[in-house]
Structure 1
Amino acid sequence: MKDFPPAVPQRVSSVDVYRGFVMLLMMAEVLRFSQIAEAFPDSSFWAFMSFQQSHVSWVGCSLHDLIQPSFTFLVGVALPYSIASRAGRQQSQSVMWAHTIRRSLILILLGIFLRSIHKTQTNFTFEDTLTQIGLGYPILFALGFRSERIQWTSLGVILLAYGIFFAVYPLPGPYFDWAETGNTADWEYNLSGFAAHWNKNTNAAWAFDRWFLNLFSRESSFHFNGGGYSTLSFIPTLGTMILGLIAGQWLKNSSSPGLLVRCFVTTAAILFVISVTLNITGINPVVKRIWTPAWTLFSGGWCFLFLAAFYFIVDVRQNKSWFKAFIVIGSNSIAAYVLADTLAGFIDSSFRIHISQQYDLLFGEGYLSLVSGGMILLLEFYILYRMYKLKIFIKI
């Protein structure tokens, strides 16, 4: 009897839709709702839109804060399909590992390259989305071949160990030099008590970067990251990818769509309860900028909810046609990421040269960023749409 290779799993449309939604949120930064909110200070609508398009100062969450964890989560969701596809093409694990290491290095180097644009020398920084994924991806790949029990255990160990790492780092003393942190002792978002171990630029990850980042050639010595971001966030970020890996396995192996949606929602509820409890009790605050363990669980809960919603609407209810634009963007997410990071200024200057210096004043100064950003978004989408029609997909 003839042996047939394992079936290659079909692409799940809801995953592309979710990815496209996330990338559109990132690309839409060019609309700069905060500028519109400043122009119309009495508008609660624009104040709300500005908040959702901005990162919170420290503890808490906005829609914009969920972009990076969603993108990271979806890397994990896609891994079971990638492994199955490569196995279906008879690739050995050694070949898969070579691809994994290559992909990891490309992500790290691409992240550094994008952060170095317009700099006078290479800006070695490792806190952006691509480098964070690249640093943790080989470990995620290794876990892709392990049981779900080992994956959950690994998640727990990673988050517990990372939390202890912060908790044992000493708090600032009476003679602490706050100037070295870019922060002040009376900053309104500083936490007190045990939660102070997770304050901005006075924590264990900040101390690590004060050593690690100064090993590289820099224009000036590294003292602090203005946003409080850190290299070591890739460790709990790996936790977000593990949650995505588990969700991807459930999605790939499920035979009951209704049960799968309930599992996603129930998991989200459990993650919310644990993370909010940790935050309220002061054991561990929900802080995206340093990716606290509580943030990993809290943002992971939102990722499960988003995936459940898109899966139910797109794949269960078969409403794929509603989200064609998201699919166009989501199926070429790396290209969308690079476009959003590199072309905005070029497109804007081109419109000013070839159309009008003041083309963005069409609806008045208050809506200037809405017009210029909208034009940039339309052109970026057109590029992605043409790539989609021509079946040009950038993969790493």
Structure 2
Amino acid sequence: MDAYRGFVMTLMAAEILKFDHLHEAFPDSAFWAFLAHHQSHVAWAGCSLHDLIQPSFSFLVGVALPYSVASRATQGHAFGKQFGRALRRSLILILLGIFLRSTHADQTNFTFEDTLTQIGLGYPLLFLLGHTNVRTTWIGFGLILFIYWLAFILYPAPGANFDYSAVGVPPDWPEHYTGLMAHFNKNSNLAWAFDTWFLNLFPRVKPFLFNGGGYATLSFIPTLGTMVLGLQAGRWLRSGITQQEILKRFLLAGIIGIVSGGLLHVLGICPVVKRIWTPAWVLFSGGWCFGLLALFYYVIDVKEKRNWAFPLVVVGMNSIAIYCLVHLIDSFIIKSLYTHFGHGPFLLFGSIFEPLLIGLVTLGIFYLILLWMYRRRLFIRI
């Protein structure tokens, strides 16, 4: 679990390598095109490796919950005390997400689509579902997805005269859908409408009209569904069943998730869109999360090949620390490297590769910080 978490956090930090710059420099290279694609989010529907970072992080929150609950129960913590801690953790995650999104702003940037904020908003409900039986949990999961989908469908789809340019979407954008899928079009759906009301309740430099990427506050509801999938995975891991049975369940859940999410998209019922975390996305990305967890579990726990994963464990055990480091001091590190060493060392392979080299050095510095913390048993937990 720590290795999987370290893998996704490394993918997040690796944005600093700027593969898109190299793709632009070598437009005919399939290698750089592949890396650039998987280091960026798809425009709307679909999925890249980069799109699996946030669902993986959310999924792993769910995986960890059964272990946390069991540990607290062993220590004699009553339900009320545990729930109070869950509420406190939720608040900290929400505030930390807002703080990190405000670091380069002129005033507090009240936005709630950040990964930490989304997890924080749904965490108390996840905690409550974690104290129910398996049947109730699956019923809750199904209701979350169905009610969220139905709410979008009941909200009026954009008409023929809808001014997409006013909400940052080109009128001829190829991702416009018709029929049921039109209810999930970018910046013209229920979640967008909610944010045009909700986000304007907070102090802002100018009124909120739309999110450029189409991200939305209400995505925390289906994100809860992703965390519930992780919760079930954590229960299987702690159930005492054989490793082969665990792998079988992970792989079966993965296949069901990917196929069902893809079918909802192909049949025109619900698109696979991460940016508004559609129910089809919950299933599709959740399937991939089960698959990735199965891979790490098979290699590390079943085959007991652990040494290779040590760097990932170092990162994964301090996921909050690396998340904050990337958001707070990446520019400071790069500026300091240029201040003390100049551009020369990073021009070894020419100016085209300069962002890649300085990004690699910056990643190395991040890792050394985390390694120092790991060896001194300094772990930032919320």
TM bucket normalised to smaller:
over 0.9
Name the SS for the 2:245 alignment partner: helix
The one-letter amino acid paired with 2:312 is F
Contact 1:183 1:200 (8 Å CA) reproduced:
yes
Are 1:350 and 2:301 counterparts?
A: no
Name the SS for the 2:43 alignment partner: coil
Contact 2:98 2:108 (8 Å CA) reproduced:
yes
Shift of 1:358: 4.2
The one-letter amino acid paired with 1:138 is P
CA distance in 2, matches of 1:213, 1:319: 48
Name the SS for the 2:47 alignment partner: coil
The one-letter amino acid paired with 1:33 is F
CA distance in 2, matches of 1:143, 1:173: 39
Shift of 1:152: 0.6
Contact 2:265 2:272 (8 Å CA) reproduced:
yes
Counterpart of 1:44? 30
How many aligned residue pairs are there?
382
Counterpart of 2:223? 237
| 1:27-52 CA distance string (max 9 Å, x none) | 10100100011111111100000000
Shift of 1:176: 2.3
1:344-383 superposed matches below 5 A: 344-383=330-369
| 1:90-144 CA distance string (max 9 Å, x none) | 1111111111111000000000000000111000000010000000000000011
Counterpart of 2:248? 262
Name the SS for the 1:395 alignment partner: coil
Ranges in structure 2 where 5+ consecutive residues have no aligned partner: none
Are 1:171 and 2:157 counterparts?
A: yes
Identity %: 55
Alignment CA distance shift 1:174-1:276 (3 Å): closer
Are 1:119 and 2:105 counterparts?
A: yes
1:49-128 superposed matches below 5 A: 49-128=35-114
Counterpart of 2:260? 274
Name the SS for the 2:206 alignment partner: coil
1:213-362 superposed matches below 5 A: 213-362=199-348
| 1:215-246 CA distance string (max 9 Å, x none) | 00000000000000000000000000000000
Are 1:200 and 2:186 counterparts?
A: yes
CA distance in 2, matches of 1:280, 1:173: 23
CA distance in 2, matches of 1:283, 1:71: 27
Shift of 1:271: 1.2
1:154-169 superposed matches below 5 A: 154-169=140-155
| 1:285-310 CA distance string (max 9 Å, x none) | 10011000000000000000011110
Are 1:134 and 2:120 counterparts?
A: yes
Are 1:26 and 2:5 counterparts?
A: no
CA distance in 2, matches of 1:53, 1:228: 19
Counterpart of 1:7? none
Contact 1:254 1:260 (8 Å CA) reproduced:
no
Name the SS for the 1:130 alignment partner: helix
CA distance in 2, matches of 1:246, 1:174: 43
Shift of 1:196: 1.1
CA distance in 2, matches of 1:126, 1:78: 23
CA distance in 2, matches of 1:74, 1:42: 37
Counterpart of 1:391? 377
Contact 2:243 2:302 (8 Å CA) reproduced:
yes
TM score, norm. by length of structure 2:
0.99
Contact 1:40 1:366 (8 Å CA) reproduced:
no
CA distance in 1, matches of 2:102, 2:345: 30
Name the SS for the 1:217 alignment partner: coil
Shift of 1:177: 2.6
CA distance in 2, matches of 1:112, 1:297: 28
The one-letter amino acid paired with 2:351 is E
Name the SS for the 1:287 alignment partner: coil
CA distance in 2, matches of 1:272, 1:357: 45
Name the SS for the 1:291 alignment partner: coil
CA distance in 2, matches of 1:173, 1:145: 44
